[in-house]
Amino acid sequence: MNVSIKHRFKFLLLIFCIGLQYQPVSAADLLSKATSDRGLSVHSEGLLIKAIENIKNNNTEKAIKDLESLIKVNPDFKAAQIMYADMILARSQQITDFGNISNASFEHISALRDEVQARWNYYKSPADRDKIPSSLIQINTKQEHILVVDSSRSRLFLFKNQDSVPILIKDFYVTIGKNGTGKYIEGDQKTPVGVYFVTGFINPDELPDLYGDGAFPIDYPNVWDQRHGRTGYGIWLHGTPSSTYSRPPKDSNGCVIVSNNDLNALSAFIDEGHTPMIITDTINWISKKEWKKRQADYKVLVEKWRKDWESKDVNLYLSHYSKEYSGLGKDYKSWVKYKRRVNPSKKFIKVNLSNTSMFLYPGEKQQLLVVTFIQDYVSDNFKRRFTKRQYWRMEKDGQWRIIYEGVVS
- Tens digit of pLDDT for each residue in 253-265? 999 999 999 999 9
Convert 314-372 into a string of H (helix), E (strand) and C (coil). Answer: HHHHHCCEEEEEEECCEEHHHHHHHHHHHHHHCCCEEEEEEEEEEEECCCCCCCEEEEE
Provide the pLDDT for residue 409. Answer: 78
Provide the pLDDT for residue 97. Answer: 66
Nearest to 138 by CA among 284, 297, 279: 297
User: Residue 105: which pLDDT band, with cuts at 50, 70 and 90?
Assistant: low
- Tens digit of pLDDT for each residue in 128-165? 999 999 999 999 998 999 999 999 999 999 999 999 99
Q: What is the Cα–Cα distance from 148 to 154, expressed in whole angstroms?
A: 11
User: Residue 23: which pLDDT band, with cuts at 50, 70 and 90?
Assistant: very low
Over residues 372-381, the mean pLDDT reads: 97
- Tens digit of pLDDT for each residue in 164-223? 999 999 999 999 999 999 999 999 999 999 999 999 999 999 999 999 999 999 999 999
User: Residue 3: which pLDDT band, with cuts at 50, 70 and 90?
Assistant: very low
Q: Are 46 and 26 in contact (CB under 8 A)?
A: no
Provide the pLDDT for residue 100. Answer: 66
Q: Among 27-31, 117-121, 339-343, whose mean pLDDT is lowest? A: 27-31
What is the bridge-based pairing of β-strands 400-407 and 321-327? parallel
Provide the pLDDT for residue 96. Answer: 61
Q: Please check the confidence at residue 390 and state whether its pLDDT lies above 60.
A: yes
Q: What is the Cα–Cα distance from 403 to 367, expressed in whole angstroms?
A: 12
Tell me if the domain spanning 287-407 has CATH number 3.10.450.50.
yes
Tell me if the domain spanning 131-283 has CATH number 2.40.440.10.
yes
**Angle made by CA atoms 203, 204, 207, in degrees to the nearest 5:** 105
Q: Domain ranges in the chain?
A: 2-124, 131-283, 287-407
Q: What is the Cα–Cα distance from 287 to 293, expressed in whole angstroms?
A: 10
Average pLDDT, the chain: 89
Q: Among 5-14, 76-85, 307-316, 397-406, whose mean pLDDT is lowest? A: 5-14
Provide the pLDDT for residue 56. Answer: 78
User: Residue 110: which pLDDT band, with cuts at 50, 70 and 90?
Assistant: confident
